[in-house]
Amino acid sequence: MEFDRVVRTTASVREFEDRVVSDADLYELLELARFAPSGGNRQGWTVLVIKDRQLRESIRDLYVEGWAEYQAHQRVGKVPFAPIENRKWTKPAVDLSIAFETRTPFYFSDNLDKVPVLLAVFVDMGALAVLDNGLDRQSIVGGASVYPFAYNILLAANAKGIGGVLTTTLCRREDQVARLVNMPGSYGLAALIALGYPKKKLTSLKRAPVEEFTFVDRFDGDPFR
């Protein structure tokens, strides 16, 4: 698939055909993804291919809990856990203790254990050059050394006709996941990636035009054209 076609059609896919993704194809995706950049070329990522059924079910249950917290924010029109107060996150915008009282069925989370491929992506925190540490706002820079790798998996998958989605909802339950998979103490959970052959293939994505998010010199400068 041509590169421009790949980037224009790599959608978030959450419903998959009942069709196996071979280990050989999955290995090829990871083989391509490993060429992603990272700070100092330290490549601090570790990927777990989640195959064990009981482990899959446990991860599904933890994901459903995190998704309930996500939905609780959405129901009141809030961006979940967004650092909107002084650019920092201080507390949930909703009462998380009642987040589970109103659960909305969601096919993806409720059937997470059945997706063809589940990849848990972890990163060695000591390998991250977090240059915005110490700023008076939420830190974001460290992700630059792991998320390009994660997105490369999705790009490589799309090029082979495989769909997927990168989700961070499971990170709400990192401590429990850590115990399940024997995660070393220096690591953190960066993402969960689900992969499979999509039930519906999107042919194009809708995104804001360049002129809406690119400006010359200043935030109030002329749109870049």
Per-residue model confidence as pLDDT tens digits over 127-136: 999 999 999 9
Q: Does the pLDDT of residue 103 top 80, yes or no?
A: no
Q: Does the pLDDT of residue 105 top 90, yes or no?
A: no
Edge-to-edge strands, sheet with 163-167: 45-49, 117-124, 187-196, 163-167
Whether residue 126 contacts residue 38, with contact meaning beta carbons closer than 8 Å, is answered with no
Whether residue 170 contacts residue 192, with contact meaning beta carbons closer than 8 Å, is answered with yes
**pLDDT at residue 85, rounded to an integer:** 82
Q: Does the pLDDT of residue 7 top 90, yes or no?
A: yes
Q: Does the pLDDT of residue 203 top 80, yes or no?
A: no
Q: Does the pLDDT of residue 92 top 90, yes or no?
A: no
**Joined tokens for residue 173:** 């339950």
At 19, the amino acid letter reads R
pTM of the model: 0.95
